[in-house]
Amino acid sequence: MAIEIPLDAKSPARAFVMELEGVIVPTRRVIFETVRTVLSEQGVTFDEAAMMRHGLHAVPAHMVSDIAEHFGLRAAARTALLGKLTKALADHFRSGAVTMVLGLDRILDAARGAGAVLGVLSWQEEDAARALIEKTGLIRWDPRVFSSPQPDHEFPGADVWLKALKVLGRGPRSAAALCGARSAARSALAAGMRVVAVPDEFTSYQDFGGVDAMTDHISDVTADQLFGRL
């Protein structure tokens, strides 16, 4: 059930930060179908349960590493899987079918109305992230892009959230994060941010304990849930 806290009109300037891949642009269904197809060619069964256990890393390389270790894939098979997954995501991002998640435009308007600046986190190179932002129409809200290509640890970590907030000129106590997976929610909480969780079909089973609000659909998120008394 969502937590409703009235906004304080005198609250300080705010920030609203979220991931580009996976939250703003849904990707997990594309990832699942791609990995399932590639592994089936090698006689390996990759079902929804396996996706929930091993396919929820934000960065493809981290995900493939987990999958390869669990299924005992050889180096060549691992390299092939990463290559095909990377291509599938790139093709999706360039396709005419790619869009922002339904209902996000209303949330962005509400955040802007609450005086928030928008930050977007991406594991892609900055040029690719900006191209996706423009293609989906997110450019309309003038977001700041924070690109962390090839991160050496789970993305986004608390350091990534904090770096974005420093550039945006906002402190964690005046910032909100919208997260679709437990790992991102936990790192945002560790950074001291307010967190609203919106699980998808593959993360709905996860424990989002500690978040400030949780809803089933992004279209249900309100400015009050995002910012509370910030």
The 10s digit of each residue's pLDDT in 130-162 is 999 999 999 999 999 999 998 888 999 999 999
Classify domain 14-25+99-227 at the CATH topology level: Rossmann fold (3.40.50)
The model's pLDDT over 55-91, given as tens digits with 9 standing for 90+, comes to: 999 999 999 999 999 999 999 999 999 999 999 999 9
pLDDT for 68: 97
Largest CA distance in the chain: 60
Q: What is the DSSP letter of 25?
A: B
Sort 96 into a burial class: Cβ within 10 Å, 0-12 / 13-18 / 19+. exposed
Q: List the domain boundaries for the chain.
A: 14-25+99-227, 28-94
The DSSP-derived string for 42-107 is TT----HHHHHHHS--SSHHHHHHHHHHHHT--HHHHHHHHHHHHHHHHHHHHSTT--PPTTHHHH
What are the tokens at 59?
A: 């960065």
Q: Model's pTM, two decimal places?
A: 0.91
Spatial distance between the Cα atoms of 222 and 5, rounded to a whole number of angstroms: 10
Which of 32-36, 180-184, 193-197, 221-225 is predicted with the least confidence, judged by mean pLDDT? 221-225
Spatial distance between the Cα atoms of 52 and 152, rounded to a whole number of angstroms: 22
The model's pLDDT over 149-200, given as tens digits with 9 standing for 90+, comes to: 988 889 999 999 999 999 999 999 999 999 999 999 999 999 999 999 999 9
Spatial distance between the Cα atoms of 208 and 217, rounded to a whole number of angstroms: 15
Spatial distance between the Cα atoms of 188 and 158, rounded to a whole number of angstroms: 6
Question: Is the bond preceding 156 in cis, omega lying within 30 degrees of 0?
Answer: yes
